[in-house]
A and B are shown apart, each in its own frame.
Chain A
Amino acid sequence: MLSLMTVEQKISIFFKRMPAPIRLRELIRTIRTARTQAEEREMIQKECAAIRSSFREEDNTYRCRNVAKLLYMHMLGYPAHFGQLECLKLIASQKFTDKRIGYLGAMLLLDERQDVHLLMTNCIKNDLNHSTQYVQGLALCTLGCMGSSEMCRDLAGEVEKLLKTSNSYLRKKAALCAVHVIRKVPELMEMFLPATKNLLNEKNHGVLHTSVVLLTEMCERSPDMLAHFRKNEKLVPQLVRILKNLIMSGYSPEHDVSGISDPFLQVRILRLLRILGRNDDDSSEAMNDILAQVATNTETSKNVGNAILYETVLTIMDIKSESGLRVLAINILGRFLLNNDKNIRYVALTSLLKTVQTDHNAVQRHRSTIVDCLKDLDVSIKRRAMELSFALVNGNNIRGMMKELLYFLDSCEPEFKADCASGIFLAAEKYAPSKRWHIDTIMRVLTTAGSYVRDDAVPNLIQLITNSVEMHAYTVQRLYKAILGDYSQQPLVQVAAWCIGEYGDLLVSGQCEEEEPIQVTEDEVLDILESVLISNMSTSVTRGYALTAIMKLSTRFTCTVNRIKKVVSIYGSSIDVELQQRAVEYNALFKKYDHMRSALLERMPVMEKVTTNGPTEIVQTNGETDPTPLETKPPPSGPQPTSQANDLLDLLGGNDITPVIPTAPTSKPASAGGELLDLLGDINLTGAPAAAPAPASVPQISQPPFLLDGLSSQPLFNDIATGIPSITAYSKNGLKIEFTFERSNTNPSVTVITIQASNSTELDMTDFVFQAAVPKTFQLQLLSPSSSIVPAFNTGTITQVIKVLNPQKQQLRMRIKLTYNHKGSAMQDLAEVNNFPPQSWQ
């Protein structure tokens, strides 16, 4: 350990005095010999104790040494707060060596959080006016490093004075100190303005550099300053001149770094030019020449040159430069990409990413190099290359790019796969040259990175597949083959299960045109679906998909219905609640509602593109577009399905919406909705024409396109508020429609309207359909009517219930459309109902 003892120490031991403290160098050497952390800590604690007792003795001679050791230990991470006062004492001393350590200690140990620091202010003030420039320099350094706002306010005047001296050593330090003062107390900025006038006339590079830093700080902080410097000071020409001198001047040994004269100053000036030229045409024009000159004349063989070029490119991109200059900049970046040095490639990719939005075509030229960077070993480079590649994909290069990207997806690290997969889907959706290519690409992604695909991709994919009608057979065949081998990747299995459920008949019948059809029997298909159900790797959601798919196949397959029944009934007692519910409901479908089964499980219609801006269009999204734990409920007991979900509408502040098994599409499913939409303009439509289930005796059903979730679970007439007068909404050609109102006390935005249709003519009106539309701020639900025949001579009425949700309590308005057959001809009428009593909606 302490094997070296100086003569001093031996003497002091001889005289039985406190041994002189060891030197810093020895301390460092000693600490380095420690082999473990504990040993080091022990040594340091011992030394700290010695230092503390030495401080208590007020020993002036060795204070500086002790504080130096303390600073070293602080740097290693040990607490050293007891040295703060000692630093102050050192600062106050007259010896330069003491002052030096004192100021250093102040910079490291003190900051504005400690109360002691204010005691320094007076010392610093005196030292700023000291006769020796080195002492002044120390004071400036310390103030610029840790000065608090109070200190800065007090001493700013002194700093400003020093900024104007002719001593370049002091001037440069004063400039940096001024930067700190401005950061702490922005109001003092104006004080330094006059001093900056002459700063750039210096020859000394140190002063130039720090002045540019000061000017940069001022311009960044205050737009007024920025404007001032642009106009009055003619800063840009000055900077251009300095930069030109730097480039044109010959070799200067003082400032040379690998052949370039003071690159650090050049970079700083370029940065300041960037700030000055941003959004300003005049300044930008003044700098065009010099930027072009720098860009062409700088040597690129060394890193230094490249650093300057990088800064130049950033500046060119940021100011309002002319297009020739911009192309030059992008070409420089392209050259960087070909460089062997990783750092330069990284920097180039980062900058290209920033510019690809504005200068798309120019960047396209370097596409092949960028794509090559995908194969680089470095993670940061790969990520940048991937982002850039996605930005560059367009209709022309989609096929080539996609090949590269898919190859990248295969080989990249897992952290990239999710982003890459999403990017590929987006790009494919925008630019797919053909449906088959699109589906192939999706299949490829699902098979290679299936487990990394984001959850929202699955419904999008399903929608895409449904919409490409001619590819159904091909798609289902490929999906089937994909999961035959491996059903562990959940998104893939989900999409495959859904497709098999929908298009299983095409699979079995071997109808594929695009590819060799494979021979699959119904049992094999059911085998694979069942194994998905059983497998441990399948999540609950996937199992739900599989079960529903099996159920759907019961209508498409002919020989295996019994097997399906068996499977479904087994899961009726599954532990998983979701599966159990589905199985029980499907079982019910087999038993009690077998007549409806084929209608319910028919093919899905083409889905409209789901938009996210609220109820502006009808979407017949009947089915599992949202397969999260939301159930697909078959109709509850009772012959009429009462509701269909519209997953566009976020009802009642975000209640879950329940999608519903599809009803059989009639001859005019979406189109009828469409024509009504045309007729009724911007008013929201309810009551799309009914799908008549098989038995004709079941009365016609009007299908409201969405479910008022909160309402349907409540009983219809809830805390009836009586006393709202009823109105005659329509009376023409013998048909009269009356509205009676009820308000719910539990939910004051709900109005329940009961319509009664009566017929005073001598012939019955048959096939009566009532439809209603309300303005966008309302929501409507139409329940099933009591019948579709309005008997003649007012002998009976059709009753139907309408529920209106009026959250904004606006005046109720409604347009109604009536269609019926009368006297052998089809009648149709539109009317507007405006005479709603105020109590019905207020």
Chain B
Amino acid sequence: MIKFFLMVNKQGQTRLSKYYEHVEINKRTLLETEVIKSCLSRSSEQCSFIEYKDFKLIYRQYAALFIVVGVNDTENEMAIYEFIHNFVEVLDDYFSRVLRYSAV
């Protein structure tokens, strides 16, 4: 089950966030900074799945933007990885190039 979906840029600013479970508003910012910290510290050599507290993070980098999805144990990580790419493609098609720039 997807717990949350984040789009964060390299400086740590949240561009989009959607939580599928209730998280306190101040905890959200904390969560976002921690998550982006662990994603930024990974090199390109390492795999895209991180274990964070009691869920898994699956992240994908597009230029200066990170898309991070937090899931629980039952999800297929690779399917989510594909899903992220699918999402980006949809956004791209729908809004054409404008969005990529504004989102970043």
Contacts and interface: CB of A to CB of B under 8 A. Distances in A.
A559 interface: no
A345 B25 contact: no
A257 B49 CA distance: 22
Contacts of B25: 74, 77, 79
Given A77-B25, A113-B22, A380 B79 contact: no
Contacts of A271: 76
B89 to A, nearest CB: 9
Interface in B50-85: 50-51, 76-79, 81-83
Interface in B30-48: 43, 45-48
Contacts of B16: 75
Contact of B81 (A28, A307, A311, A380): A307
Interface string A77-104: 1010000000000000000000000000
Interface string A43-77: 00000000000000000000000000000001111
A540 interface: no
Contacts of A346: 47, 49
A755 interface: no
Interface string A660-695: 000000000000000000000000000000000000
Q: Contact size class for B?
A: 20 to 34
A761 B2 CA distance: 91
A263 B82 CA distance: 9
B44 to A, nearest CB: 10
Given A76-B14, A303-B82, A380 B77 contact: no
B79 A381 contact: no
A216 to B, nearest CB: 10
The A contact surface, by secondary structure, is: helix
B76 A378 contact: no
B79 A267 contact: yes
B6 to A, nearest CB: 10
A343 B78 CA distance: 8
A238 B102 CA distance: 45
Interface centre among A28, A74, A113, A346 (most CB of B within 10 A): A346
A444 interface: no
B79 A347 contact: no
Contacts of A267: 76, 79
A452 to B, nearest CB: 22
Contacts of A380: 46-47, 49-51
Contacts of B47: 342-343, 345-346, 378, 380-381
Interface in B12-29: 14, 16-17, 22, 25-26, 28-29
A209 to B, nearest CB: 12
Interface string A296-323: 0000000110110011001000000000
Interface of B: 14, 16-17, 22, 25-26, 28-29, 43, 45-51, 76-79, 81-83, 86, 102
Interface of A: 28, 74-77, 79, 111, 113, 257, 263-264, 267, 271, 303-304, 306-307, 310-311, 314, 342-347, 377-381
